[in-house]
Amino acid sequence: VAELNDKIASLVKEKEEILAMKVSQLGLKPGESPIESEVDNNVEDSDIRFAKLAGIDKEYETYLCASKDFKEAGESKIALDVYYEIEKMKDESPLDFCVRQGWEEYIYQMLVVDFLILNRDRHGANIEVLRNSKKKEVRLAPLFDHGLSLLCRCHTAEEVSRADIMEDKPVQCFVGSRSTKNNLELIPKGKYPYLNQLKEEDKKYLFSGLDEIVSEEWKNKIWEMLWNRWRYYESFCNQR
């Protein structure tokens, strides 16, 4: 146990160093606030990842996404990529590792969901392993963190109207490839997840309560995206 704890600490430290490197590449030092006292007007918007604000003496209203704690009493969590490094067999891929752990159905469902919403951020820390040492049980947490999905890169109505809803944008996927379409190919024939069929009347349910938050342009485009990607998935299953 002590050896495993040491290895976990080492892997976590390594991840923190990688994160610090990524943050520094975005123009920030670890721990530095993205708010700056002055705005550099010579910097192109495409060159930065964080908004640079001139001051903080204003109040801003925004929306937060929250969920119930999915950890049960006595459970601890660990990122899948860290758990994989500890428990994997020689030359075992992340996908094969998950299948061996009995998480096959979960992973296949995840790959389909990520295709439908074009989730671009399914790295190894966005899949969590929940461990209960007393019960000696291990399970995967419900899917979470879908901030980089749907029309996440669209900031204006014009960008929304121009968005290619079927474009296969590059993604991060710890158990798969850089393509959500290609990741569907990882699901063996006969093991496609059974999902409730998407219907026209589902649109009202999906966007319930969002009238004052999301404009009609956004809602219509998101629905068009979900609908067409669902139809693609249905065709994919039938052709195989």
- Where are any strands of DSSP class E within 97-185? 121-122, 128-132, 137-140, 172-173
Q: Which residue has 């930065």 as its token pair? A: 48
Confidence grade of residue 173 (pLDDT, cut at 50, 70, 90)? very high
Burial class for 123, CB neighbours closer than 10 Å (0-12, 13-18, 19+)? middle
Determine contact, residues 171/119, Cβ cutoff 8 Å. Answer: yes
Predicted pLDDT at 19? 58
| Nearest by Cα to 123 from 175, 170, 167 | 175
Residue 112, both tokens: 């389909």
Q: What is the DSSP letter of 47?
A: G
Q: For residue range 140-168, list pLDDT tens digits in order.
A: 999 998 989 999 888 889 999 999 999 99
Vertex 79 angle, CA 136 and 84, to 5°? 75
Q: What is the DSSP letter of 92?
A: -
Cα dihedral 217, 232, 113, 154 sign: negative
Mean pLDDT over each residue of the chain, to the nearest integer: 83
Residue 159, both tokens: 């960008």
Q: For residue range 199-240, list pLDDT tens digits in order.
A: 999 999 999 988 888 889 999 999 999 999 999 999 999 987
Determine contact, residues 183/111, Cβ cutoff 8 Å. Answer: yes
**Rounded CA Rg of the chain:** 21
Q: For residue range 26-47, list pLDDT tens digits in order.
A: 444 444 444 443 334 444 433 4
How many angstroms separate the CA atoms of 213 and 235, rounded?
Answer: 33
Work out the average pLDDT over 2-12.
73
Predicted pLDDT at 135? 87
List beta partners, residue 78.
Answer: 129
Work out the average pLDDT over 77-82.
94
Q: Would the pLDDT of 92 be above 90?
A: yes
| Nearest by Cα to 141 from 74, 71, 73, 88 | 71
Vertex 236 angle, CA 235 and 239, to 5°? 80
Predicted pLDDT at 55? 52
How many angstroms separate the CA atoms of 234 and 154, rounded?
Answer: 27
Query: 15-24, 39-48, 164-173: which has the highest mean pLDDT?
Result: 164-173
**77 CA to centre of own chain:** 17
Predicted pLDDT at 67? 79
Residue 115, both tokens: 């295709």
Task: Give the lowest-confidence range in 3-12, 38-47, 55-64, 197-206.
Answer: 38-47
